[in-house]
Each structure stands twice: as C-alpha cells, then as structure tokens.
Amino acid sequence: MAATHKIFLPFLLKQQNHTTILRSIQTLLLYIIVSSPLWANSLDSLKHELSKTVEIEDRAKLLYELSQVYFKSDLDMSLNYLEEGILLLSQEPNSELLGEFYKNRGNVYLTKGFLINAKESYLQAEKIFTELGASKLRIRTQINLALLGQREKQFEKSEKEFLRLIKELEKMDDTFSEKYLPHIYLNLGALYDNTDNPQKAIQSLYTALNYCKGGVQDNLRGKVLHNMAIQYLKLGRLDDALNSIEEAYDIKQKTNDRGGVVNSLNILGNIHRLKGDFDIALPIYEVALEKAEELNSPTHMKDTYNNLYVYYEEVKEFENAIFYLKKYKEYSDLLLSETYEIQLERFEEQHELELARQELIDEKQNQQYVIIGLSVLMSLILIVCYLIFRYYRLNLKHQKAKTIQYQTEVELTQSEQEKIKVINEKLQADISFRDRELTTNIMHLMQKYELINSVSENIVALYDQVDAKTKKALRSIVFNLQNDKQGDVWKELEVRFEQVNQDFYDQLNTHYPKLTPNEKKLCAYLYLNLSTKDISSITHQSTKSIEVARFRLRKKLGLTNTDTDYQTFFKNLLSQE
C-alpha cells in the first residue's frame, strides 16, 4: 500500500500534475522542433545520394535505409522503396540483402494488416536465407512467421514453431540467442493467453523475464511484467499482479512509453478495485484518463472509460456510471467506425495490390509465353536453316556424284564407243575382206565356168570330126559339164553370200515377201554389183532375159521412176531395223 502511495503521490496533486504536463509538452515540442530538421536533412541526404548512385548493390543499400526511415512515419513510402529494391536485386536472387528486403516488406504488410502479403514476403525471405545458410536471418524471419500464424489464430502451429526456435536458439549459446529468446518467450506467453492457459503463460513470461538482462532490454522487461500482471489477475493472485504491474510501471516511466504507462495505470486501478481499495483506484483511473486524453488515443480512452464505468457501478454511483458508460460506448463506436474504415481501406489497398500482383503475374506469364514463342520460332528457324543447309549440302554432294557419274559414264561411253568403233572397224574390215574374198571366189568361179564353156565349145567343134558313137559321148560330156556347173555355181555363191551378209534374205523376206527365189537370187547378184553380162554368164541366160528380169524386179521393189540404184537400195534396206 505504501509503495503504491509513493508512486502515485504526484498524480494526486492536481496542480503539480498540470505543471508537469505543461513542462512535458514544452519538452516534447522542443524535441520535435529540434529533431525534425535533422530527420529531414538525413532523409534529403539519402535521397540525394540515391539519385547519384548507379551501382546495383550501393543503390539497393540506400533504398533499404530509406525504407527503414519511412517505416516509422509512412508505410506506403517504405513499401515503395522496398518494392524498388526487390526489383533491382531480382537479377541476384541469392543475396542476403534481397532477403532483408522481403523480410521488411513482410513487416510493412503485417503492420498494415495485410496478412496474406506479409506471409508471402516472409516465406520468400526464409527461402533465400535458408539457401544461403544465413541461420540468424532465417530465425528472425521464422519468428515473424510464427507471430503471423498467431495473428491468424493458428495457435497450435505457432506454438510448435516457437518451441522449435527455442531449441535451436538454446544450442547457439551466443548474444544472438540471448537477444531473441526473451522475445520468443514473450510471444509464447501471449499465445497461451489467447488460448486461456494462464499457468503456461506465466511460466513462459517468467522465463522471458530471466533472459532480460541489463538496461538495453528494459522495454522488453516492462512488457513481460505487464503481461505477467494480466495473467496473475486472471488467476486471482492480486498481490503478485500488483508487484508485477508496479515494476512494469516504473520501467515504462523510465523508457517514456506513454501508451504503456496508461495501460499499466488501468491495470493497477483494476487491481486496487478488485482488492476493495476504491479510494486508491479512483485517482489512478483519473490519471490514466488524463494521460489517454493527452495522448489523444481513442483506444486508451475507451479502456479507461470502461474501467471508470465498472468502478462507479460497483460503488453505486449510477449517474457517473451511466456517464462513463456513454463515453465508453461513444469511443467504442468511434473505434468501430475507424476500424471499419481502416479495414475497408486495407481491403481496398489489398485488392489493388492483388490486382497489381495479378497484372504482374499476367505480364510475367505473357513474357514467358513470348519467350517460349520466340524460342520455338528460333528453334524452327534453326531447324529450317539446318534443313536448307543439309539440303544444299546433299544436293551439292548429289550434283558432285552425278557429275562424277556423268564423267564416268562419258568416259565409259567413249571407251565403249572406241571399243565399238574398233569392233565395227574390225567387222567392217572383216566384211570387206569377206566381200573381197567372195568377189575373188566369184571371179575364180567365173574363170572356171568360162574355161568349162571354152572346153565345151572346143568339144562341140569336134562333133564333125568323130563318128556317131564318139559324138554321142562328147555331147553327154558337154551336157554334164554345163548342168553341174550351174548348180554348183549358185550353191557355192549362196553359201558364201550368206556367210558375209546374214541379214540380207531376212530383210528381203520381211519387206518383200512376194519375191520369187529367182528374183531373190537376182537381188543377191545385184547386191554384189555384178553386171548383166556376169549374171548372164553365171545363170546361162541371155542378157536380154536378165534385163527384163531386172526391170520386173525394179518394179516389185518400188524403184520405178526413181534414180536409186540397186547398190544404194540394198544398203538402205540392210540399215533398217
């Protein structure tokens, strides 16, 4: 009780309190006047430096610093710088700085209430840090993911993740684990509070309190003690709650946490009200209301009005109770309206972001389609070029082979022609030889037959010089000589003629089948270029008979009224196929 009176003695002195408030306001205004230009100069300096920087890494660092500066004053500007940095570093997908950009973008979205976008950004950051083996950065991101799951009321999943992170940090045994373990236990205590498990909440908060060492963690220690007081209240342990909230109040006063001071005052007033110390509770509530009005915080004012309503209801001052109930309802509706407007604004912003992201996805997809189309087109062009090249190459080979074949054929043809020419010349020479031989034989035969004729004539001249019996014998000899001569002459002539001119009779029979045997013989004589006298001598016919036979033959061969001689006619006949 004494400790509480000692703490709140200045608040009970109204005049002194107003003087303190005025001084605080003056100090605050002076701080704003002094610090704002410095902040502006720093911001302008960063922007100026950014406009001159072209190196990707240096520019990305400046964008990161600007996003951090704007995070406390303008979330949209902070988000713009983060998006620009992500786009800039997209060419280097595995850099720690890119992971930091994604993590901070998740922080912005989480602050704005865009849980889906925040989760997506945290997961991107986690993936990058995991691939790079940056365990500390990964753990910080996973803490944020667990907090996000807690906001999404996925308490069981968040609890498992917090406990896993605690085990991992306890193995590290360094300043990093000492810094983040109390934060995790604090959040774990809040999770157990959400699931109505005050015993576990107090246990987690007590562990967090043990990790809070030194003045650097006073702010965190104040939050832990504040939450412990709430849990003690739920369990009805009012003295423990009082001790925790008084220590939390001292820390918040020391760290100038004005909103935290209002919250601690409200809990302190609730503890005294529950203990029945109404005289102490009322001035505490009144100071809390002044601090809330000073902060112009509707949330803190609503909570304080609610506590005053409950207080006056319990002390049976219903007029005041109704007044503060109306105030509570007024600020509840105001907050509800503001919350609705904020949620609507957030929904619209999220919808716009979703549309922009969908447009980006569509644009990327279209780019992928274009790239695929161009790749297919280039592949087809390459294939067509290859086929054309191969066609021309094969065609060139074919033409070359064809040329070689043609040259070979020409050479073979020339060789064959030369061979045929040689054979023809040889055959022609043979034919000429046979013709000469045939002509020679015919001349010999004609000489022989002339000799026979001469002998026959000499024998006939002896008829008058011999007796009848001898004459009869001589006549028989002459007759036999003449008959034997005619048959042998033609037979031998025909045999030799066919040896030399095998196709002669075939051509005659083909083209002139109506020729008689004697006419065929006459053709042979004429082909051999024998004169009428020679033919008459061979055939023992008169020259006139031979002339008549030649005329008839000329008519049958269709040579009447033409200048074609028999030699030319028969050569043309033999040349026909």
Distance (Å, whole) CA 329 – CA 301: 11
The letter for the amino acid at 59 is R
Per-residue model confidence (pLDDT) at position 493: 67
Render 515-552 in DSSP notation, one character per residue.
--HHHHHHHHHHHTT--HHHHHHHHT--HHHHHHHHHH
Per-residue model confidence (pLDDT) at position 39: 46
Per-residue model confidence (pLDDT) at position 41: 56
Strand, coil or helix: 508 = helix
Are 82 and 108 in contact by the 8 Å Cβ rule? The answer is yes
- Is pTM beyond 0.75? Reply is no
The letter for the amino acid at 359 is E
Per-residue model confidence (pLDDT) at position 351: 53
Residues 6+ apart with CB under 8 A from 314: 273, 278
Distance (Å, whole) CA 118 – CA 110: 5
Per-residue pLDDT of the chain (577 residues; tens, 9 = 90+): 434 444 443 444 333 333 333 333 333 333 333 344 444 557 788 888 888 888 888 888 899 999 988 887 788 888 999 998 888 888 776 688 889 999 999 998 888 778 889 899 999 999 999 998 998 899 999 999 998 898 888 999 999 999 999 898 888 867 888 888 888 999 999 999 999 999 999 999 998 888 886 666 788 888 899 999 999 999 999 999 999 999 999 988 888 888 889 999 999 999 999 999 999 999 999 999 998 888 888 888 899 999 999 999 999 999 999 999 999 998 888 877 655 455 545 555 555 656 666 666 667 677 777 888 888 888 889 898 888 888 888 888 778 877 887 777 777 777 777 777 777 677 666 666 666 666 676 667 666 766 777 777 788 777 778 787 887 787 788 777 766 555 555 566 667 676 667 678 888 888 888 889 888 888 888 888 888 888 887 777 888 998 999 889 888 888 888 888 888 888 888 777 5
Per-residue model confidence (pLDDT) at position 22: 36
Per-residue model confidence (pLDDT) at position 176: 85
CA-nearest of 333, 240, 317 to 285 is 317
18 dihedral zone (left: phi>0; alpha: psi -120 to 50; beta): alpha
Distance (Å, whole) CA 310 – CA 208: 33
What's the Rg (C-alpha) of the chain? 68
Distance (Å, whole) CA 84 – CA 101: 10
HSE (side-chain half, CA atoms, 13 Å) at 258: 13
Distance (Å, whole) CA 260 – CA 243: 16
CA-nearest of 112, 148, 72 to 347 is 112
Per-residue model confidence (pLDDT) at position 354: 61
The letter for the amino acid at 567 is Q
HSE (side-chain half, CA atoms, 13 Å) at 365: 6
Burial class of residue 459 (count of CB atoms within 10 Å of its CB; 0-12, 13-18, 19+): middle
